Each structure stands twice: as structure tokens, then as C-alpha cells.
A and B are shown apart, each in its own frame.
Chain A
Amino acid sequence: MEKKKRSGLFLTVAPLYIFTLVFVAGPLLYMIALSFATNSDGWGTLWKFTLENYKKIADPVYLKSFSQSFQLAFTSTICITLLGYPFGYFMAKQSAKWKKRIMLLIMVPFWTSSLIRMYGWIILLQAKGVFNTLLVKLGIIEEPLKILYSYPAVVIGMIYALLPFMVLSVYSSVEKMDWSLVEAARDLGASRAKAFLTITLKLTLPGLLTGVILSFVPSMGLFFIADILGGNKIVLVGSVIQDQLTRGSNWPFAAALAVVLMVLTSIMIYLYRKITHVKDLEGFF
């Protein structure tokens, strides 16, 4: 009986196991193998072990793309956190009716194409666009600002694409919070700020962490935003990988770049977990 129950149970997880092993683990292992293979001069790959692909990454051109990607991801994530945390927090404190409405308002843009929303920013920010025309007419500036195809434009695009993730994960953890703890702290004489820092912030840290991961990691790979809003000024790892796969047709090198990118993002996630002690907090409750 016990055995039968177990095998029945295994049938439910089997599809997930098989699919994950074949289409997640398999391709990832293949990528790692590919990163040690030799690129042949023509089209294709020679299966001869080499470390050449990794050595090539040390080239300043490619190192620069890594540092630019990380810098952009950092800047965007910080902005997203600063804007998104208060949003999620305030949203959770609204009445039930307004919570629902705001949630809807956040979800609607989510459903429209993110590319088209980026295009909306182009319309807004371009030299003779709405934003500049307005500023000039109001007499705030004389010359139109060159925001489009600059670094700030890319950051705006990143924030815009990823803010909902932060808002929603902060919101859900503030929603779940036990407010009596904050009240207790206030009753015991803690100031509003102290109660927030010691209780609220700590309790909502898992949500904040999820938001940070959900915005940091994708921003490393969203090369199309930098492509569209940044012109060709910022070359991110994503663009380099894409370039190597298509025009450069050097798949082993692209694989090596991807492996390094994956390792770096994994380290980031791991460090963040260590620093914030999320595991402890989770264990605590």
C-alpha cells in the first residue's frame, strides 16, 4: 500500500522531473561543454578541449561589457528599490477597494507589449518629443535635452520594465505582515522610524529580496532595452552574446560568456541571501 502510494505520487512529479532534466539541465550542461570547445574557422564547432574562450573574455573590450552590464543592473535595481518599496508599502496600506484598483492599474501595462511601452518612451523623450517641447514651451530649458539614446534613458527603460516585480513582491510581504508587532514596538516606546527599521523592514525583507532578485537578474539580460533606448553607446553582455551567436558565429565563445554571466549572477544572489540572512528570518517564523 505504502509503496503504491509512493509510485502514484511519483507520477505527479514525473513530468516536472523529466521536463526539467531534459530541457533545463540538459541544455545548461551542453552550454558548459560548448564553452570548452574550439571554434572552427568555418561554420561549426570542433570538439577539442580548450580554455581559449575564457581567456578571450579577459580582453578589455569584453570586460568592459561585463562591468557596464553590472553597473546598469546595480543602478537600475537601486532605483527600482527606492521607488518600488514605498509603492508596495503604501499600496498595502490602502483600503481593500483601492488595493484592487491599484493592482489592476499595475497589471494592465504588464499585459501590453513591453517593446511598445519602450517605444512610448521614445516618443516622449526624443529631441523634438512631447517632453522636450513641453519644457521648452514652459521656458524651463532653451535647448531640447538629449535624453534619448543616453544612459539615463536606458535606466528609465529598465526601471519601467521591472518596477512591477518589486512592487508586487513588496506588496505581498507587507500584506502578510503581522501589524501587532509594530504596535507592540510603538507601545513599548519605539519611535515610528525605529519601529519601521527594526520591525517592518525586517519582516518585509524576504519580499524586498525577491524584488531585488527579480529586477537585478533580468536587467543583466534585457539587452533590447539598451539597444532601443541607448542607441549603440552601451554594449551589454547580452548584446555581445547575441552578436557572437549571429554575426560572429563563434558559439563556444558565446557559451563561455554565458557561463561567466550565469556564475556572476548566481554569486550575486548567493551573497545577497547571506548578507540579508533571509534564511534565518524564514527559519525564525
Chain B
Amino acid sequence: MRKKHKLSGIYLAVLLLVMYLPIVMVVIFSFNESKLTASFTGFSLKWYETLWHDRDIKEALFNSILLGVISCAISAVIGTLGAVGMARADYKTKGMMEYLSTVPIMIPEIILGMVFLAFFSLLNLPFGMTTLVIAHTTFCIPYIFMMVKARLVGIDRSLEEAARDLGASQIRTFFDITLPLIMPAVLSGSLLAFAMSFDDVVISIFVNGPRLNTLPVKVYTQLKTGVTPEINALCTIILAAIVLVLGISSLVQKRQERRRGELSER
């Protein structure tokens, strides 16, 4: 039994190691002096300096963050309300709508990209941030919708009924009871959606228009034409930022747990 436990641990460790290998490479070569990635010729910070002066990349990064935040915010509202409403109601169209709203993540991205390209040109919408937000919102909604839906199944309905019996309005019940209960799902759904939006190449490439670049689109064109190591530097910075945010959030969580532990023993 003990031995088996160890073996599974080794399996997990090896696979995780392989997962991190390419990332480690990117980080290492962001400090490389030479432009080539064949061998490490010497330590240098010059790619970070180039990155700092590269207005295009900074703009693309800004666009990507803006796009992710706006699309996530819109989809969080639409997806959460939709999931709550669907769980309570029994419309004839419910099943179909549920299926239809999750279609964007059930079909290959390329189809969504082409469909939006054709549809937006039909509507004569100018390609740019608006089209990007619409396209990203469509595939962000399903992540939030499904997470919230799954969470709603496990929620004790009697809490809401109690609130209603005690005279709370429907809106008050939603904000005071339902929303706090499903908040973890809304947050994790939004985080997942943001990650998907921040990383999307296939759909963005079709609807971004000639003048607007998101970060993944910019990186993609660079990968096709020839990479400069400043992209490595950028990735390293993003990675450092993520680790920092995760570190802080886990510290905060630990402190909260400790406080909660003092109040009541779980």
C-alpha cells in the first residue's frame, strides 16, 4: 500500500516536471545574450530593455487585459443570471437554449472564428474592440454558466425559501442568499473565462481587424516570422506576476482560515 502511494506520487511529479520544462526553457532563454535559442551564451537583461521600449507589445498587452476584463464582466452577469433563472424556471425552450449557449465551447474554435468574421461583415460592424468583446463574450459565458449551474445543484433551496418566508423580496433574496452562495463558482468561472480570453488566438485572429492586436495575435505573427527573445522576457514577467498574485492570495486565504478556525472548529 505504502509503495503504491509513492509510485503515484512519482507519476504526478514526473508529469508536472514535463509540463514545466518548456516554461523553464522560455524563462532561461529570456536572459540569454544571443538572439538564437540553440545555446545559452551569456546572461543579459537586454531583452527586458527592448521589451520596455516596445510600444506595440505594450499596447497589445493592454488590449488583451482590457478585452479579458470587459468580456468576463459581461459574461459573468449574463451567465450567472441565466444559470440562476434556468435552475428555477421550466421553459419549454430551456433545454435547447442551454445547449445553444454552450455551443461556442463545444465546437472547434476555428468555426466560431469564421462564423463571426462572416457575421460581423454582414452586419457591417467595424472590426476592432467591439467585435472582439462580442466574440470573446460568447465563449466566456459557457464557462461561467456551467460552473454556476453545477454549484446551484448543491445549494440548499430551503435557505432561499426561508428568506422569502421571512419577507425578503426576490431581489433581496438573490443578493443576500443566492449570490453569496454561488460566488465561488462565479469567481472561478470568471477566472477560467479570463484565462481563455487572454490566451485566445484562433478567434481573435479573425475578428481583431487590421489595426488592433491582442497579445496572442502579436505573438502568433512573431512565431511565424521569427521570434525575438523579448517575447520570452514578457512571458517571464507574466509568469512572475501570476506567481506573485497566487502567493498573495494563498497568504490571505491562510490568514482567513486561521481566523475562521479560531471562531469555529471545522
Q: Which A residues are within 8 Å of any B CB, using their own CB?
A: 5-6, 8-13, 15-17, 19-21, 23-28, 30-31, 34, 83, 86-87, 90-91, 93-94, 102, 104-106, 108-124, 126, 128-130, 133, 160, 163, 213, 217-218, 220-224, 227-228, 237-238, 241-242, 245, 251, 254-255, 258, 261-262, 265-266, 269
- Distance in angstroms from A168 CB to nearest chain B CB is 10
Which chain B residues numbered 132 to 168 have a C-beta less than 8 Å away from chain A? Answer: 134, 137-138, 141, 145
Known contacts: A15-B82, A24-B104, A123-B25. The answer to whether A113 contacts B8 by CB under 8 A is no
A83 cross-chain contacts in B, Cβ below 8 A: 15
Which chain B residues numbered 103 to 121 have a C-beta less than 8 Å away from chain A? Answer: 103-104, 106-111, 114-119
Are the CB atoms of A93 and B138 closer together than 8 Å? Answer: no
Nearest CB in chain A to that of B32: its residue: A123
B 221-247 to A, binary, CB cutoff 8 A, 1 in contact else 0: 001100100011001001100110010
B227 cross-chain contacts in A, Cβ below 8 A: 119
B77 at the A interface (CB under 8 A):
yes
B235 cross-chain contacts in A, Cβ below 8 A: 112-113, 116
Are the CB atoms of A258 and B38 closer together than 8 Å? Answer: no
- Across the interface, A117 reaches (CB within 8 A) one of B22, B89, B101, B106, namely B22
- Across the interface, B114 reaches (CB within 8 A) one of A13, A106, A109, A254, namely A254
Are the CB atoms of B134 and A23 closer together than 8 Å? Answer: yes
B78 cross-chain contacts in A, Cβ below 8 A: 15-16, 19
Are the CB atoms of A12 and B106 closer together than 8 Å? Answer: no
Are the CB atoms of A16 and B114 closer together than 8 Å? Answer: no
Known contacts: A31-B118, A126-B38. The answer to whether A115 contacts B224 by CB under 8 A is no
Known contacts: A113-B238, A258-B111. The answer to whether A108 contacts B26 by CB under 8 A is no
Known contacts: A116-B26, A129-B38. The answer to whether A221 contacts B101 by CB under 8 A is no
Are the CB atoms of A109 and B23 closer together than 8 Å? Answer: yes
Are the CB atoms of B100 and A13 closer together than 8 Å? Answer: no
Are the CB atoms of A28 and B115 closer together than 8 Å? Answer: yes
A5 cross-chain contacts in B, Cβ below 8 A: 170
Nearest CB in chain B to that of A244: its residue: B114
- Distance in angstroms from B84 CB to nearest chain A CB is 6
Of all A-B residue pairs in the complex, the 3 with the closest CB atoms, nearest first, are A120-B22, A221-B108, A16-B82
B67 at the A interface (CB under 8 A):
no
Nearest CB in chain B to that of A216: its residue: B108
How far apart are the CA atoms of A6 and B23 in the complex, in Å? 52
Are the CB atoms of A87 and B11 closer together than 8 Å? Answer: yes
B100 cross-chain contacts in A, Cβ below 8 A: 20-21, 24-25
Are the CB atoms of B242 and A221 closer together than 8 Å? Answer: no
Are the CB atoms of A111 and B141 closer together than 8 Å? Answer: no
B93 cross-chain contacts in A, Cβ below 8 A: 17
- Distance in angstroms from A91 CB to nearest chain B CB is 6
A-B contact pairs, 10 of them (CB 8 A): A16-B86, A31-B111, A83-B15, A87-B11, A110-B195, A114-B201, A163-B19, A224-B201, A228-B223, A265-B107
Nearest CB in chain A to that of B89: its residue: A9
- Across the interface, B25 reaches (CB within 8 A) one of A91, A120, A262, namely A120
